[in-house]
Amino acid sequence: MVGSTNQRTNLATVMLIQDSNADHVSESFADRHASTYRTLRLYARTFRRNTSAMFGLAIVVVFLVVAAIGPWIVPFPEDATGAVHLDIKLQPPDSTHWFGTDEVGNDIFTRVVLGTRTTLQIACIVTGVAMLIGVPLGMIAGLVGGWVQEAIMRVTDVFLSVPGLVLAIAIVGALGPGIVNAMLALSLVWWPGYVRLVQAKTLALKNEIYVQAAYSIGASKLRIVFIHILPNCTSPIIVKASMDMGMAILGAASLGFLGLGAQPPFPEWGAMISIARTYLPDWWWYSFFPGLAISLTVLGFNLLGDGLRDILDPKHRD
């Protein structure tokens, strides 16, 4: 090891010389993250040029705002909690009741606005729980391989082979109808997509040279997972999550429509349409406005997801 010591001294000398003339100006946060700012600005520019993505973002933002301030802007808050005004039932839209009234005289505008919060909550929780289950499972399957991977992927395949909504109906049927059970059921059928996505991405990343380089440096497995693999999986996960928000809204509405989700008088769009369908076509506004709300949110999240895919897809970078 004599040579090695010698070498270390050499390197130390080189460094000493550099030390003396190196000036260490402390930089601001902005300096250190200049590259990040540049990247974000580039993303913002690409996104702004994408008309449909901006439209989707606008829809999503409007619905988020409505969900946030809903209880303070609705004209008849008591209509969401079971008030009955039979004297004004099934009124067409006018200046007092913008979206008309339903069969017990409740203001439909109020109920649609208050339903926004429920719907977005369901979407966030379902997608979130699905991610929490799916992402770790997918990563374990991709990294460990062998029989662990086989087991996880085969279970995933079983879940994927049954149509999600049918399975969700079965689960809610067993647990009993209700909004919490509906969310639970949807979460339980939603995770397999994430397992597939993350497992495929992990398998690809595992063979990336920078992951090999991390091994050659001596980085621990945990470090490789959390610093090298997970951050490089986030783009497709974000894109899929934003798409899934729309699909989860549709799923929750479908369960509501079948009478398995939120129970009346709780203002939920799917449940509203379920009752309103018997009043078609003469009292069209009753089902039209909740339906419009569902279509718009789903469309908004899908367009947003498409736009995010365009900017986060690494093939479009550089």
Partner 1 sequence: MLAVENLKVHFDVKNNRGVKTKLRAVDGVSLHLKKGEAYGIVGESGSGKSTIGKAVLNLAPKTEGKIEIDGRDITMTNRANEAWLRQNAQIVFQDPHSALNPRMTIMRSVAEPIIVHTKTRGHDLRRRVEELLDIVGLSKQFIYRYPHELSGGQKQRVCIARAIALEPSLLILDEPTSALDVSVQSQILEFLASLQRDLNLTYLFISHNLSVVRYLCQRVGVMYLGNIIEEGTTKTVFEHPQHPYTKALLGAIPYPGATQPQSAPPLIGDIPSPVDLPVGCRFHTRCPVKVANLCDRLAPEHHHQTLGWASCHLLDPDLDKVGGKPE
The footprint of partner 1 (CB under 8 A) covers: 1, 3-4, 6-8, 10-11, 14-15, 18-19, 22, 24, 31-35, 39, 208-210, 212-220, 223, 227-228, 231-232, 314, 317-318
Q: Which is nearer to partner 1, 5 or 95 (CB)?
A: 5
Query: Cβ of residue 38: shortest distance to partner 1, in angstroms?
Result: 8
Contact between residue 175 and residue 165 where contact means Cβ atoms under 8 Å apart: no
Which residues of 49-136 form beta strands (DSSP E)? none
Q: Which is nearer to partner 1, 44 or 65 (CB)?
A: 44
Query: Cβ of residue 34: shortest distance to partner 1, in angstroms?
Result: 6
Looking at residue 315, its amino acid is K
**CB burial class (10 A; 0-12, 13-18, 19+) of residue 310?**
middle
- Residues 241 and 62: their CA atoms lie apart, in Å, by 19
Looking at residue 264, its amino acid is P
Query: Cβ of residue 218: shortest distance to partner 1, in angstroms?
Result: 3
Query: Cβ of residue 22: shortest distance to partner 1, in angstroms?
Result: 6
Q: Which is nearer to partner 1, 122 or 311 (CB)?
A: 311
Query: Cβ of residue 223: shortest distance to partner 1, in angstroms?
Result: 7
Q: Which is nearer to partner 1, 2 or 174 (CB)?
A: 2
Q: Which is nearer to partner 1, 22 or 174 (CB)?
A: 22
At 100, list the tokens.
């008309």
Residues with Cβ within 8 Å of residue 215, at least 6 apart in sequence? 224
- Residues 19 and 21: their CA atoms lie apart, in Å, by 6
- Cα 5 from chain centre: 55
